[in-house]
Chains A and B, each alone.
Chain A
Amino acid sequence: MAPAQASAAKQAELLKQDGNTFYKKERIGAAIDAYTGAITLCPNVAVYWTNRALCYKKRNEWRKVEDDCRKALQLDSHSVKAHYMLGLALLDREEYAEGIKELEKSLELGRGPHSMSYMVEEIWQALAKAKYTEWERSSKEIASQLRKLEEACENALKIYRDLDGSTEDEYEEQLIQLREVFRKATVADVPTEVPDHLCCKITLDIFRDPVITPSGVTYERAMLLQHLQKVGKFDPVTREPLEPEQLVPNLAIKEAVQAFLDDHGWAYKMRP
């Protein structure tokens, strides 16, 4: 690296540190100026862009968040933070499908081998909220479509009877069957309980990152690790000795959870 470049990089790094200090003190304007300085000196460092995006996020300036995150992703397509904040920005301007896609990407990257566990929970919460909102919206829409369709069908049966295509008894029977069909269609989308086999025995909540122990019991990874650290090195259900190294991801359950969530968006609902 040429001396001039080297000193620019060094200066940019110092500006970033200033920015971080300002951010911690909630001096967002000063932090933005510092990161902008760093970007001017070294526009190819993704972290400068994501740090500035974080400042804009704090100010709810979502357009600017989006621009900075897109720039960061050009430089580093694996940036968990850039995918996360881009997702939030897209959700803010009601680009639900795209926003959810970005959040999913960041969750996948955040859970990888270089896990950023502190962010994973935050990302999951945002994703679950977006998915739940999406379900609410589409569920209302489907319900209203079904109602209209049911009315139209009832009218059609009535007209058919009036044209003497069916007897009064046939008409009554068909009406009952029709209502049953529509009742079943509505029930499929009504929130109930998540089945026990998709819930962790410790959280009692639907799995996010399920791991299986040598005893064959599946738990939520973060909770089981906490148990091994705080309570004792044993399987909480069977009480067999257990070490963290023995845990294996339970991919089958993970897929089953995803399939369940895809069919039952209400299960994303988080308690306050």
Chain B
Amino acid sequence: MTSSSGPSRKALSKIAANRLQKELAEWQVNPPAGFKHKPTDNLQRWVIEVLGAPGTLYANETYQLQVDFPEHYPMEAPQVIFLHPAPLHPHIYSNGHICLDILYDSWSPAMTVSSVCISILSMLSSSTVKQRPADNDRYVKNCRNGRSPKETRWWFHDDKV
């Protein structure tokens, strides 16, 4: 998937760059279980490998998350999407967009890439059925112009999964 590169591709602010360097350093010492950061020299876009947790529907499957950071991170949420192919999940659209409140309305600057990853893995792990969201086709069609999931007015499915 060629990414909708996010609403703004402005360079990271000094505060954002400083914080991301610290997050990356911490990640290297203490990565969240089940995740692998693919090293690049691009601090503003991280590609992270996710390994489905053992004993869940996604065991032994690997997926890739693409995380893009806005200029004013962490005052603004990062844009997080799955690269193709996205896992089959009731809250994950086939274009990789993820319906998860903390990525949008419920973002808090005290959250980190690491804590976001853990939330996404827990969302995967608690799934009981491998299927797309009911409105998948309509939503994906609406996003064809390369719209970022951050521009979507999300109506969060529920908080059980």
A-B interface pairs (CB < 8 A), number: 37
Question: What 6 additional pairs, Cβ within 8 angstroms, besides A231-B108, A231-B109, A271-B17?
Answer: A201-B110, A203-B15, A223-B15, A226-B75, A234-B108, A239-B108
B110 touches A231 (CB 8 A): no
Partner of A237, one of B22, B74, B110: B110
Distance in angstroms between the alpha carbons of A226 and B74 in the assembled complex: 11
A237 touches B15 (CB 8 A): no
B15 touches A230 (CB 8 A): no
Q: Measuring CB to CB, which residues of chain B are less than 8 angstroms from any residue of chain A?
A: 15, 17-19, 21-23, 26, 72, 74-76, 107-110
The bracket for how many chain A residues form the interface is: 10 to 19
Find the residue from A204, A234, A237, A239 having the highest chain B CB count within 10 A: A204
Distance in angstroms between the alpha carbons of A204 and B15 in the assembled complex: 10
A203 touches B75 (CB 8 A): no
A residues near B76, Cβ cutoff 8 Å: 230
- 8 chain-A/chain-B pairs, Cβ below 8 angstroms: A202-B74, A203-B15, A230-B72, A231-B107, A231-B108, A237-B110, A271-B18, A271-B21
Residue of B nearest to A229 (CB): B75
Check: A227 CB closer than 8 A to any chain B CB: yes
B residues near A205, Cβ cutoff 8 Å: 18-19, 22
A residues near B109, Cβ cutoff 8 Å: 202, 223, 227, 231, 236
A196-225 interface mask toward B, CB cutoff 8 Å, 1 = contact, 0 = none? 000001111100000000000000000100
Closest 5 A/B residue pairs (Cβ): A236-B110, A204-B22, A236-B108, A201-B110, A237-B110
B residues near A230, Cβ cutoff 8 Å: 72, 75-76
Minimum Cβ distance to chain B for residue A218 (Å) = 12
A227-B75, A231-B75 given as contacts; is B108 within 8 A of A203 (CB)? no
